[in-house]
Amino acid sequence: MKTMTPPDPTRRGAIFGFAAATAVSTGGTSSAGAADKLPIVTVLGDSITAGLGLPARDALPAQLQVALDRMGVKAAVRGAGVSGDTSGGGLARVDFSVSAETAVCVVALGGNDLLQGADPARTKANLKRIIEKLKARRIRVVLAGVRAPPLIGASYARQFTGLYPALARETGVVFHPDFVTGVVGAQRLMQRDGIHPNAAGARVIAERLAPTVASALRTTIPVHSANRL
């Protein structure tokens, strides 16, 4: 996840050298285009969503499209990733980056907050406001969790990791834990920079995310819950 300001190299090394032991297996590769009249799934994120270093066909949005197609889930996936984006950056652009036609939005932000040592309370507040904005537009939300390695500081890691499930409970959105756990830190799933997933890594993330997105697509938003916000 490309940062907008140079992060602490010790923090960077700790984060991206973590979790190799939790690596998962990969599946096949293919791509699919979005069809008219299908429910739209938008992935709001940073460089992982943007597919930095990868051709579009290998990036996460295309891989998620393939995974959903294989499950027989009819949807069209759109990427809304900006390299270097923090939760604050996502909040600033959520109104225009997530189209009105979106049925489900995957909010996959916070990795750059972690790299920059951001206050977990601020990250949580930004993500909560993003969720509120999406729910007010009757868009279902999947919140992708980020797990911080304890090597960067046990207390900070605990606070940062914990903000995601807590926020999902508070807002009632679908929670997808450990978005990149098992990929980041696994050399065979990463590009040479050691930061961004390669095509195989993006495929793993997509295949693990697809069932959660499929579940969200089947969920109906009660009118009263949208009107509260």
Sign of torsion over alpha carbons 88, 159, 43, 84: positive
Is 99 catalytic? The answer is no
Residue of 189, 154, 170 lying closest to 23 (CA atoms) = 189
Do 185 and 168 meet the contact criterion of CB atoms below 8 Å apart? Answer: no
How far is the C-alpha of 95 from the C-alpha of 76, rounded, in Å?
19
Q: Provide the b/e sequence for 196-215 (b: ≥16 CB within 10 Å).
A: bbbbbbbbbbbbbbbebbbe
Of residues 47, 83, 87, 97, which has the active-site annotation? 47
Of residues 58, 87, 176, 196, which has the active-site annotation? 196
**Burial classification of residue 65, based on how many CB atoms lie within 10 Å of its CB (0-12 exposed, 13-18 middle, 19 or more buried):** buried
Of residues 95, 99, 193, 225, which has the active-site annotation? 193
Q: Provide the b/e sequence for 118-148 (b: ≥16 CB within 10 Å).
A: bebeebbbbbbebbebbbebebbbbbbbbbb
Is 47 catalytic? The answer is yes
Do 42 and 107 meet the contact criterion of CB atoms below 8 Å apart? Answer: no
Is 25 catalytic? The answer is no
Active site residues: 47, 193, 196
